[in-house]
Amino acid sequence: MITQINETVEFLESKNILNPVIGIVLGTGLGKLVEKIDIEISIDYDEIPNFPESTMEFHHGKLLFGTLEGKKVLVMQGRYHLYEGYSLNQVVFPIRVFKKLGVQKLLISNAAGAINLNYEKGSLMLLDDHINLQGGSPLLGTEVKTLGNPFVDMSAPYNKEMNEKLKQIAVENDITLHEGVYAAVIGPHLETRAEYRYLKVIGADAVGMSTVPEVIAANHVELPCVAISVLTDSCDPDNLQPINIPEILALAEKAEPKMITLFSQLIKTL
Ligand code: HPA
């Protein structure tokens, strides 16, 4: 794994991806942030050595390097999900590469279902904490030890300072930004009514199929991170509607300008 990381870093540096400061992972339906970036380099995931081979989901998987709000940003336009059949180590591989390339802060977005029914569809939630229900860790084995202590402290997985800034930016821009606990499941199936009840009981405010592996890997290599969910559906077990994927994508897209404001204003302060 270490050899692969070094190989990938060397390749990206040879393509002039040098000194990125901020890393961004763009989730489902949240690709428009790239329109604000002055892009210098764009590489398909398929062309990057050791990046896992793309699946159908990944026709748009691209690594972008450029400038946003005066800062050098490295952006994953599309992420790897467990439900596509990748291992946890494959899912977090790009995060390890980001760190090695010099990325100092990581911003993550995703789409999630609202377990907390006071959080309305289409609104945003800042992750304050998470529950890992994906049944594994990207820190297994002996090789990860060379990247950092695998017994990573998770008392504050999301960077407090950046979270405070995001909350302030939300107030200044009249954006409703809830705060809560994100539960990560494997998917790709949605949850049953009983599972939604269970998620509520264990303290989740939102549920989705990503982000937690990346956050664990980021904490492992001491890369401060934040994450925001777009809440695309209401997970009400007493009135559960069949899932509507086009509606989820449309809601994510509609919430995008708010996400872009939060991320770009945050980057300005970093
Ligand atoms: N469950 C899991 N993942 C999701 C959901 C959901 O309800 N909505 C968007 N991503």
CATH number of the domain to which 9 belongs? 3.40.50.1580
**What is the pLDDT averaged over residues 27-45?**
87
* The pair of three-digit structure tokens given for residue 178, joined into one six-digit string: 């809830």
User: Does residue 210 have its Cβ closer than 6 Å to ligand 1?
Assistant: no
- Label residue 205 by pLDDT band (50, 70, 90): very high
User: Does residue 208 have its Cβ closer than 6 Å to ligand 1?
Assistant: yes
**204 φ, ψ (degrees, to nearest 5):** -85, 145
Grouping H, G, I as helix, E, B as strand and the rest as coil, residue 3 is: helix
Q: Give yes or no for residue 59 having a pLDDT over 60.
A: no
- Label residue 241 by pLDDT band (50, 70, 90): confident
Spatial distance between the Cα atoms of 149 and 232, rounded to a whole number of angstroms: 36
Note the helical H segments in 68-142: 88-101
Spatial distance between the Cα atoms of 228 and 147, rounded to a whole number of angstroms: 26
| pLDDT, averaged across the chain | 94
- Relative to the CA of 185, which ligand 1 atom is closest? 2
User: Does residue 235 have its Cβ closer than 6 Å to ligand 1?
Assistant: yes
To test the pocket of ligand 1, the residue of 235, 241, 247, 251 to mutate (highest count of ligand atoms within 8 Å of its CB) is: 235
Q: What domain range includes position 182?
A: 2-269
Q: Cα of 204 to ligand 1 centre, how many Å? A: 12
The secondary structure element, H or E, covering residue 240 is none
- Name residue 179's amino acid: E
Grouping H, G, I as helix, E, B as strand and the rest as coil, residue 18 is: coil
The answer to whether the Cα torsion of 80, 3, 98, 108 is positive or negative is positive
Q: How many domains does the chain have?
A: 1
- Residue with CA nearest ligand 1 atom 7: 113
Contact 43, 13 (CB under 8 A): no
Q: Give yes or no for residue 185 having a pLDDT over 70.
A: yes
To test the pocket of ligand 1, the residue of 207, 210, 251, 253 to mutate (highest count of ligand atoms within 8 Å of its CB) is: 207
Spatial distance between the Cα atoms of 86 and 108, rounded to a whole number of angstroms: 19
Spatial distance between the Cα atoms of 270 and 266, rounded to a whole number of angstroms: 7
pLDDT at 27: 85
Spatial distance between the Cα atoms of 22 and 159, rounded to a whole number of angstroms: 14
Name the pTM for this structure.
0.96
The angle at the Cα of 141, spanning 88 to 93, to the nearest 5 degrees, equals: 35
Grouping H, G, I as helix, E, B as strand and the rest as coil, residue 259 is: helix
pLDDT at 251: 85
User: Does residue 209 have its Cβ closer than 6 Å to ligand 1?
Assistant: yes
Q: Give yes or no for residue 108 having a pLDDT over 60.
A: yes
The percent of residues in the chain predicted with pLDDT above 70, rounded, is: 98
Task: Name, in order, each residue with C-beta under 8 angstroms of 2's C-beta and a sequence gap of 6 or more.
Answer: 143, 146, 147
Q: Give yes or no for residue 21 having a pLDDT over 80.
A: yes
* The pair of three-digit structure tokens given for residue 108, joined into one six-digit string: 């993550």
The answer to whether the Cα torsion of 24, 25, 30, 35 is positive or negative is positive
- Residue with CA nearest ligand 1 atom 3: 208
